[in-house]
Amino acid sequence: MAEETGRASFTSKLGFVMATSASAVGLGNLWRFPYETAHYGGGIFVLVYVILAFSFGMCLMMMEVSLGRRTGKSTIKAFSDLSKKHRFIGYMGAIIPIIIVSYYCVIGGWVTKWLFESSIGNLSMLSADEGSFWWDFITGITGEGFAGPTLWFIIFLFLTILCIFIGVDKGIEKMSKVLMPALLIMIIGIICYEFTLPGFWDGVVFYLNPDISELSADTFLGAVSQIFYSMSISMGILITYGSYAKKDVDLERSSFSVGAIDTIVALLAGLIIIPAAFSFGFSDSQGMGLMFVALPQVFSIMPGGAIVAPIFYLLVLFAALTSAVALAETSASLFIDGANMERKKSVGLSALLIVIIGAICVLGFPGGPLAMDTPLNQGAGWLGFFDTITNSIMMPIVAILTCIFVGYVVKITFLEDEIAQSSPFKTRKLFRVMIKYVCPVLLVVILVAGLYGLFTN
């Protein structure tokens, strides 16, 4: 056991669960999950997702959290301390959160902008001309030019870094204990209101009624891909947060609790967005447009929409902020462990890297001074490029290598003993089979299918 003396830690079991849950709950739940659900057939996708989340996803989560606690280190040190030959896995994993948090803060800036505008009565501006304001805003066509998205990116980044500067127990843990319950309360409140909308139940039926005829291989691939994004797997977050967990934390039960909270929030987010979009004829909306283009139009014609809109975007801001904090904290811990930097210096260096990469994303949309167009950018400039290489290529590769490393290099008992130290470990057999055999195969399929899709479409 290579636990670092004096390492920051969560003060309680609840603090660990809430902080880890907050790291997982984010735009993946409130934006990506509803879109993926609509894209892959509604209720059947939800059913497949839930089954895989509590098997495939839970085992990968336990693996990363237990690896972090066993070593007491973040991604780079966790691998290099166990095997110098395999430290390249840690370096690969270290790059992912730095890239993701940079473009994540750009999207977080959009959310902050939409919250601000909807709060001061400018919902009609956001919804005018079929929601074209979003594209005009991110491509610098509005009167603000690229100064607008840059400013909101910096504002969101400032909120994120401020919490990191405060520290693990005083910042991340306390923020999570407040924001997670507030998040759930706001979600339930909006859902209760939306049940009064005409046509809402038609969307509920599509969302929750599994249609077997819609089941396909793509349904499973989409569900597994969503689990990666939603549960913060292979982002370095779970290893880092695991390193902050005390030895009395029941890792098995905590992983189940985090997975359950994350899945419940995703399901509730879908219940907010999909039926409401169906009610007003926006069932075909896709991707980012569902939140920034379609939903403002829904709110503009919804009874009481001027009140619901700012509440909804505040909800999304909370979720985006907790995930951004987790990603930024992971980035900072890399310098703390990898270069033995003081916390403030590591946070400052992380912030500098985020500003640089984030600025490239902001200025890299069509019409911007850094605009670029490749088959990998999904029409979204550098932001789309970074999103593609992290989610479709780097994360599956890191997850495959981690499963092989744990299952066949350090041996699976290395982590089984760590988990059993604080729990009965009732799922030991499932954990062993999933990590050594099932997960690597599924991950290879996802990687190959993802690469095939990228280069054939």
pLDDT, one tens digit per residue, over 197-215 is: 777 787 888 888 888 888 8
Q: Residue 424 in 3-state DSSP?
A: coil
**pLDDT for res 4:** 42
For the chain, list the domains and their CATH numbers.
13-456 (1.10.4160.10)
Contact in structure between 178 and 23 (CB atoms under 8 Å): no
Q: What are phi and psi of 10, to 5 degrees?
A: -75, 145
CA atoms within 13 A on the CB side of 144: 14
**pLDDT for res 19:** 66
CA distance readout (Å), 169 to 52, 99, 124, 241: 32, 25, 41, 12
Please, what's the b/e burial string for 52-91 (b: 16 or more CB within 10 A of its CB; e: otherwise)? bbebbbbbbbbbbbbbbbbbbbbbbbbbbebeeebbebbe
Biggest CA pair distance of the chain: 61
Residues 6 or more apart whose CB falls under 8 angstroms from that of 254 comprise 13, 16, 17, 20, 65, 245
Q: Pull the structure tokens for residue 398.
A: 């890191």
Residue from 225, 227, 256, 207 nearest 425 by CA: 256
Single-letter amino acid code for the residue at 41: G
Residue found by looking up tokens 């200025």 in the block: 363
Please, where are the H alpha helices in 198-304?
200-208, 217-230, 237-243, 251-279, 289, 295-301
Cα dihedral: 135, 139, 145, 148 (round 10): 70
- Running DSSP on this structure, what letter comes out for residue 143? T
CA distance readout (Å), 416 to 70, 378, 396, 430: 10, 41, 23, 11
Residue found by looking up tokens 């967990």 in the block: 245
**pLDDT for res 399:** 93
**pLDDT for res 159:** 86
DSSP string computed for 184-226: HHHHHHHHHHHTTSTTHHHHHHHHHS--GGG--HHHHHHHHHH
CA distance 66 to 329: 18
Q: Residue 270 in 3-state DSSP?
A: helix
CA distance 61 to 427: 13
Residues 6 or more apart whose CB falls under 8 angstroms from that of 198 comprise 279
Question: For residue 191, how many other CB atoms are within 10 A of its CB?
Answer: 16
Burial level of 198, CB count in 10 A (0-12/13-18/19+)?
A: exposed
CA distance 255 to 269: 21
**pLDDT for res 63:** 95
Residues of the chain scoring pLDDT < 70 = 1-15, 18-19, 22-24, 131, 165-180, 279-289, 337-338, 374-379, 454, 457
Q: Pull the structure tokens for residue 286.
A: 């896709």
CA distance 158 to 411: 42
| Percent composition of the chain: helix, strand, coil (DSSP 3-state, to 5) | 80, 0, 20
At 400-436, the pLDDT tens digits run 999 999 999 998 998 999 999 887 888 899 999 999 9
**pLDDT for res 37:** 86
Contact in structure between 378 and 151 (CB atoms under 8 Å): no
Single-letter amino acid code for the residue at 320: A
- Running DSSP on this structure, what letter comes out for residue 236? S
**pLDDT for res 74:** 79
Q: Pull the structure tokens for residue 357.
A: 């990469």
CA distance 221 to 226: 9
CA angle 317/277/307 to nearest 5° reads 50
Cα of first residue to Cα of last residue in the chain, in angstroms, is: 47
**pLDDT for res 109:** 94
